[in-house]
Structure 1
Amino acid sequence: MPSILRSIAVFSGSNFGFNPAYAEGARALGREIGRRGLQLVYGGTDKGLMGIVADAVLAEGGEVVGVITRYLHDLGHLHGGLTRHEITPDMRSRKTRMSEWADAFIALPGGLGTFEELFEVATLTQLGEHHKGVGCLNIGDFFNPVRSLLEHAVKEGFMKTEHSEMLIFDTEPAALIDALEQWQAPSVNKWIGPAVS
């Protein structure tokens, strides 16, 4: 049964990237989240794509929940216009709280933190620890290597096709959110039998 979306967690870079399309895509995603009356949950800062998506949701009158670590808060990185914010002691608890708030997840272009967050929530879905859809806004083909990596893991016997296809990739925010609203968790377990020699 498709899930009801009320809140979407967005993982994204705290930098802007070199391609102006990244900022444009983050802004478009924020506008779409705000227009739909969905709540944005994100890392709480005003930096890079994170700040852009939050500003766009707020400009549409939407609610934005920022979850920020004590370290980043004390550095002065908290966005000043949030609907609500929480301060967590560390990154692990930050990710846990974001996951608890969210009904689904979307990754924008970013670096190590974005990749780590993306794969963690996808792993939790694969293991059945939650049943929440995960999508990537594939601006400028940024996530094509991720899709290739998942296909490679299937080819090499480390992942089932159903799990490699669990992540949704789209270039348009509206289509991506529509797909997350219709998403259903795969019903297979993760284990693959030994190869026959």
Structure 2
Amino acid sequence: MFNTLQDVADAMRTALEHERMAAFAQGDALVIAAQPETRERLGFRTLDALFEAIGAETGQSRRTLYNYRKVSQTFAPNARDAPVSWSVYLVAAGTDDPLAWLARAADESLSAAALRDVYKLETGRAAEQHQVERVLSTETARVMWLAGRRALMLDDQQAEAALEPGEYVQVTVWREVHNGAREDVA
């Protein structure tokens, strides 16, 4: 039972802190699971395959899982005490100086959207340029080695080195749009 507005606000702050710490705990687990030796022990060759399987088990999208991992990798446990939402940590993690931008967001009580806007303005990045860079940074270019053999996922350098005369490649670029669904990028 709440007796004052302050009681309600305190309960809300406590719940928000628990939610933020839960996101970090998930990210920390994903950082460990994504390590090559752990991933291999679990039976997964690629990070995508691991995150797809975890997402199927937890009902979370691969993008959410990648974000949890990214934020946990960016901010050490002793740097996770800023009084901001986890979304602000996510935006700060994508900047050129995450700790400085996180501190600024905390000092100025910036929301994730406000931090993103201030960062774009102050770094001279136009909204269109930021959108293109964001999409390109999240795109995954997959080169499929097609030569009557089993299709192998290769990066560009591997494909160039592995192709024999007469073989060809098919390049498909896509982005994840929702819960693992892919959208071709032309």
Shorter chain as denominator, the TM-score bin is: under 0.3
TM-score (norm 2): 0.23
- Greater RCO, CA 8 A, separation 6+: 1
TM-score by length of 1: 0.23
